[in-house]
Structure 1
Amino acid sequence: MAYRYLFGPVPSRRLGISLGIDLVPHKTCSFNCIYCECGQTTDLTCERREYVPTDRVIAELDDFLATAPDLDYVTFAGSGEPTLHSGIGEIISFIKDRYPRYRVAVLTNSALFTDPDVRAALMRADVVVPSLDAVSEEVFVKINRPSPGITAGQVLEGLLDFAREYTGEVWLEIFIVPGVNDTDKELRLLKDAVIAIEPDRVQVNTLDRPGAEDWVLPASPEAIERIAAMLGGNAGAIGVAYAGRTLPPKTKDIGETILATIRRRPCTPRDLATLLGIRPTEVAKHLRVLEAQGLIEAVEEKRGVFYRPT
């Protein structure tokens, strides 16, 4: 079966070997974050509906998981906001009922947690990774550029409601953009929010690949460590490099895996070699083929040459 809504498995800095599920068209999101490594949002919306056929996603998952692949997580992520899909709860339940050995993770921007249906849909996930980049309205609008009608207060209120109801693990992500949300005032507000939410982990992140806006720069490692220390004992930086196990040789096609990884986030050849645990010369060979096929292109950035999908 050719998979349209699944990608990977790909190595993740946080989730190990992860099979990705993409439930919405490319860059369909309730935010248009200035730092998004997937690029600008092209469909800014908070409308929940069945963007792709739920039964088709379930059929693809059934076909893939029936082979008993070695995975750390099945992850709802991709290049848009997965909670916009009205069938996400049904898909999570299918995985947990039919393939209970697999842990389910959901990455979300937290925008829709004020909706009780969204909160209920995620209750059977093992890990939810919600984002909270700002608490003040001014900074929230500047960094997340939300769909009309979404406010900073609503996002925090929804997150608090979800955290109170949810029995799985909450790994709160805070993305730092220097000059935007790293002021003492905003960091104090974020710390107060962390105390109220009581997440299992706080993951402090910053730009590692080209963002949606060229002027967005990464915070220094020292700044990230300082902010993590200020936020509390369960806060830490998300490492740049993947340090887990590599993909099992029997289940990976290197070219397809490289393309799946690049479709999620732009990568340098060194990133790919580290992520996949293969030699740089092998990565270079496959990049040349993919570039010749017109599937990827190279762009020069501060950290080196990045490859992204065409």
Structure 2
Amino acid sequence: MKYKHIFGPVPSRRLGLSLGVDLVRHKTCSLDCIYCECGPTTNQTLKRKAYVPFDEVKTELADYFENHPDPDYVTFSGSGEPTLNPDIGRIIDFIKEKKAQVRVAVLTNATLLSDPVVRKDLNRADLVMPSLDAVTPQTFEKINRPAGQIDIHKVIDGLKAFAESFQGEIWLEVFILPGINDAKEELEALGKIIRDINPTRVQLNTLDRPGAVAGLKAASKDDLDRVAGIIDADNVEIIARVKDLASREHISDEKMEAMIMETIHRRPCTIDDLTAALNLEKGKLEILMKRLILEHKVESVQQERGIFYQTIKKL
């Protein structure tokens, strides 16, 4: 069965072997974050609707569960903000009914957590990973570029309300860009809010792939250590990359191409990224990428960390 709404599983930096579920069309989000590896937001909205059909997602998950080993996590992520789809709670319920032992994670930008219905939708998840990159309106506007009616104070209140009621784990991600959201005053204010939310973990991240805006600078290890010290929480960690995973053998070129296209459609990757994420042999990947470029299916972009490959977006 060819999947449209699920992808992977791929080794995740945080979740082990993770099966992705994409509940919106590329790129539907309430924010237009300057660092987003999925590219600029083309449909910026706060409207909750069935961007992809519930029955299609359910059918794909059922087929995957019947024909593949269990992943460590089923993770709601992909092309935008998953909580914009009002069926997310129903799909989590379906996963738990089919595979109670498989953990469910939700990556969210937290902008809809002020809605009690959204908080209820996420109740059966095992792990929710909200992001909070800024706590002042000026910095929030600069780094996250929200839809006009989003108030950062309301977002923070929603996060606090969710943290009070949620029975699973919360790993709060903070994305650091030097010169944009790492001023001492901003980080001190952020640290106070984080201590109020009291998440299970605070994970510091920075640029690893091309963002939506060119010319952004990644934070160094020293930068992130400084941030951790100012935030001043016991549970702060710097996210590391996945490496050294066993490669897949005897995979057809057709299946390899499908896996690659599914992955780089959602986020640009280097050859090393794809080798780690898909457990594929590097030499075969290099040959296949050259063919995909010649066939005008893929384009390459030179960035500081190397050559990134992405699908060619059709106009």
The 5-angstrom pairing of residues 143-158 of structure 1 reads 143-158=143-158
How well do the aligned residues superpose, as a CA RMSD in angstroms? 1.7
User: CA separation in 2, counterparts of 1:56 and 1:272?
Assistant: 27
Match of 1:13 in 2: 13
Quick one: distance in 2 between partners of 1:43 and 1:182?
28
TM-score by length of 1: 0.95
Report if aligned partners of 2:244, 2:276 keep a CA contact under 8 Å in 1: no
**How many equivalent pairs are there?**
309
Which amino acid is 1:30 matched to? S
Provide the residue aligned with 2:142 in structure 1: 142
**CA–CA separation in structure 2 for the residues paired with 1:87 and 1:14:** 25
3-state DSSP class of the match of 1:37? coil
| 2-structure distance, mates of 1:275, 1:95 | 23
Report the Cα distance in structure 2 between the residues aligned to 1:141 and 1:302, rounded to whole angstroms. Answer: 26
Q: Is the 8 A contact 1:246 1:276 kept in 2?
A: no
Which stretch of the first structure deviates more once superposed, 299-308 or 130-139?
Answer: 299-308
Extract unaligned runs of 5+ from structure 2: none
- What SS is found at the alignment partner of 1:158? helix
Deviations 1:40-98 (A, max 9, x none): 10011000111111111111111111124241111100011000001000000000011
Q: What TM-score results when the alignment is normalised by the length of structure 2?
A: 0.93
1:106-145 matches, within 5 Å, as 106-145=106-145
Q: Does 1:200 find its partner at 2:177?
A: no
1:236 aligns with 2:237: yes
d(CA) in 1 for partners of 2:3, 2:185: 46
Paired residues for 1:5-154 under 5 Å: 5-154=5-154
Counterpart-to-counterpart distance in 1, 2:167 and 2:244: 26
Match of 2:218 in 1: 218
Alignment partner of 1:32: what SS?
coil
* 1:148 maps to amino acid: G
Task: Check 1:89–1:244 CA distance in 2 against 1; reply closer, same or farther (3 A cut).
Answer: farther
SS in 2 for 1:105: strand
Question: 1:114, 1:152 → 2: CA distance?
Answer: 11
SS of the counterpart of 1:174? strand
SS of the aligned residue for 2:67 comes to: coil
Q: 2 CA distance for matches of 1:71 and 1:113?
A: 27
Equivalent pair of 1:225/1:236 in contact (CA under 8 Å): no
Distance 1:264 1:251 in 2: 22
**Could you tell me which residue of structure 1 aligns to residue 267 of structure 2?**
265
Asked whether the equivalents of residues 70 and 102 of structure 2 are also in contact (C-alpha less than 8 Å), the reply is no
Distance in 1 between the 2:195 and 2:247 partners? 37
Contact 1:16 1:244 in 2 (8 A): no
Q: Is 1:181 aligned with 2:181?
A: yes
| Unaligned residue ranges in structure 1 (runs of 5+) | none
Conserved 8 A contact 1:50-1:86: yes
Please report how far the alpha carbon of residue 263 of structure 1 lies from its aligned counterpart in structure 2 after TM superposition: 2.0
Shift of 1:278: 4.1
Matches of 2:201 and 2:286 in 1, distance apart? 36
- Tell me the percent identity: 48
Counterpart amino acid of residue 239 in structure 2: I
Give the C-alpha shift of residue 235 in structure 1: 0.8
- Paired letter, 2:235: N
Q: Distance in 1 between matches of 2:245 and 2:272?
A: 16
Relative to structure 1, is the Cα distance of residues 77 and 246 closer, same or farther in structure 2, using a 3 angstrom cutoff?
A: farther
User: Which residue does 1:254 correspond to in 2?
Assistant: 256
| CA gap 1:247/1:73 in 2 versus in 1, 3 angstroms | farther
CA contact (8 A) 2:103 2:125 kept: yes
| 1:72-130 CA-partner distances (Å, limit 9, x unpaired) | 11110001100000100000000001111211110000000010000000000111000
Aligned position for 1:302: 304
Q: 1:274 aligns with which of 268, 273, 276?
A: 276
Query: What letter corresponds to residue 233 of structure 1 in structure 2?
Result: D
Shift of 1:270: 2.1
Which SS does the other structure have where 1:142 is aligned? helix
Q: State how far apart, in whole Å, the 2-side matches of 1:250 and 1:76 are.
A: 29
Question: 2:177, 2:151 → 1: CA distance?
Answer: 19
Per the TM alignment, residue 230 of structure 1 is displaced from its structure 2 partner at its CA by 3.4
- CA gap 1:111/1:118 in 2 versus in 1, 3 angstroms: same
